[in-house]
Amino acid sequence: MVVIGGGQVECPVLLEWLKLESVVSRAASKGVISLLRGNSIDRTTVCDNYELLKPLVANLGMRPSVKVLEDLVARFLFHCRPRGKPLPNSEEIKTESWVLRNMISVLASAARRPHVPRTSEFKELFEVIGIRLPSSDSLEPGVLAAY
């Protein structure tokens, strides 16, 4: 249990997020959690935010509702905001929740493909969701790694 700003945080997702200094500083300064490089959410976005997604999929699975994500985002932003700074409005919280949900959808789409991912971030996320990956030396010649 972590005590922040007079409140106790017991949620495992929030506890993991609070350990990520880059996420906490982004939440405090910009009022957002995820790191986006453009308007689209793709595999690169998932790789950029894999530390944020790990506790989400480990604790909520691959199909969390947006309402649950909204609650998590609102609580996290409340705990991270500097004293005197107003809370993000409900539209900003909803947008951030949908971004997280869409990143999980991209991960789920990649997980349904019969392949071994190339990036370490996707490999780690696959392990978190329970997909066991073969070691590179045990791959058959016909199995190609992708992404």
Q: Work out the pLDDT band at 140, boundaries 50, 70, 90.
A: low
Q: Is the pLDDT of residue 11 over 50?
A: yes
Q: What is the DSSP string of 30-83?
A: HS--S--SSS---HHHHHHTHHHHHHHHHHH-S---HHHHHHHHHHHHHHHSPT
Considering the chain, what percentage of its residues have pLDDT values greater than 90?
56
What value does the mean pLDDT of the chain take?
A: 85
Question: What is the reported pLDDT for 9?
Answer: 61
More confident residue, 130 or 34: 34
Angstrom distance (rounded) from CA 110 to CA 115: 8
**Residue type at position 51:** E
Q: Work out the pLDDT band at 90, boundaries 50, 70, 90.
A: very high
Q: And the tokens for 2? A: 């972590």
Considering the chain, what percentage of its residues have pLDDT values greater than 70?
85
Tell if the pTM clears 0.85, that is, is over it. Answer: no
Task: Please tell me the chain's helix, strand, coil percentages from 3-state DSSP, rounded to the nearest 5.
Answer: 55, 5, 35
